Structure formats: C-alpha cells, structure tokens
Amino acid sequence: MKFLLDMARRHDIELHFKRLTDSVRGYSLPERTIVIDLDLSEERMNWTFCHELAHLLQGHGKPDGPVTAQHEREAHDQAQDLLLPPETFHPDAHQLFLTELKERYPQASWEVIALTRVRHRPGVLTIFDNNKRTVRTAPQPLLYPSKLHPLEQAVRQTLNANNPTAHQNGDDLQVEGVFIDEGRGVERIILIADSDHE
C-alpha cells in the first residue's frame, strides 16, 4: 500500500476505496480523485491507480467527450511507465531475469512486469493460466509463430511448484520461464523468448 499512498501524495490525488462491480476496478473524477475497488489485490490496486492517474494527467474524459479506445491505450502505456519508470526499468530489463525484476519492482504484478519487459527488450511473451494459453504477444514489428518453439515447450515442461524458474539457451534463442501460484486458484506460467544477441 506504500507505493499507492506515495503516488497519491506525489500527484496530489484524493484516494478513495469502495466495493465496485465486477467489471469496474476503479475510476477517476476530474477533481483529482481516484476511486479503487477495495477487493483488489495490492498489485491490481497499484495498476488501477496508475491507469486512472494517467487518464487524469492526459486530460481524458473531460466534459468535451468520453474516454475513447485511443485514450485507453495511452493510459495503459503511461500506467506502465508510472508503475515501472523507464529510466530504471529499461536498463534493468536488459540485465535482469523476471524473478529479479519482480524483486526490484514488487509494486507491479508478474504480468505487468512481463508485458513491460518485452516492450523494453523485445521478445515473445506467452502466458498460460491453469495450463491454458491466455496470452501470446510481442511488440510490433516483431513477427512470431503462433505455436511455441521447441525450446519454449521444453522450458514450459520443466516449470512447476517445485521448480518455479527455468532458463535455457539454444540456436540464437533464449527462453526464460516462471511458474506462479499465489493461492488464488490460478497456476500461471510466464515464458519470454528472445534473441540471445543483444
């Protein structure tokens, strides 16, 4: 909660917590107020706060019109930068493994760290939730196959509760994987594949 309260103080934001509907995690009001669902995890609260703060900082949703899909993309990108400042995260993304990034940036979720990591150090990100692939993405213009590379598959197969991290190198490719079970009924595997030449 320290990150959230420090950010609110730094940006002169009045912060409120209340129970919101399932589809609404938070919202901002033009008078520099942000409301966050109090049932969210701390990492999700931090993300929601940064996303709503980005809307306020960019002047989205003022009386001249509703928030658009473009506004949402802009707020998403700025929220990543507020949560994981580029001036420190960019060099760290090129030097540290996912587990080390998570230790250095505990305010962010594994997913946000992984998504931001491939934004700063291009690679292919794949996420499995309860053994079902839920994300496979890479920054443009990076092209990638829809199927896992054999090295990605090999790393995925080694990950479990007893072996939560793995890293393998092969033919101009390196793959890093993390197994995460935070006790919320979801076992998650995150894989990042990128060129082993920086």
Q: Any residues with CB less than 8 A from the CB of 97 and at least 6 apart, and which?
A: 165, 167, 176
CA distances from 143 to 122, 124, 146, 197 (A): 11, 9, 10, 17
Q: Which CATH number applies to 86-194: 2.40.50, 3.30.1370, 1.10.45, 3.30.450?
A: 3.30.450
pTM over 0.75: yes
162's tokens: 């007893």
pLDDT, one tens digit per residue, over 32-87 is 899 999 999 999 999 999 999 999 898 876 655 677 888 889 999 999 999 999 99
Domain ranges, ordered by start, for the chain: 2-83, 86-194
Q: Is the CATH number 3.30.2010.10 carried by domain 2-83?
A: yes
Model pLDDT, residue 63: 56
Q: Which residues of the chain are modeled with pLDDT < 50?
A: none
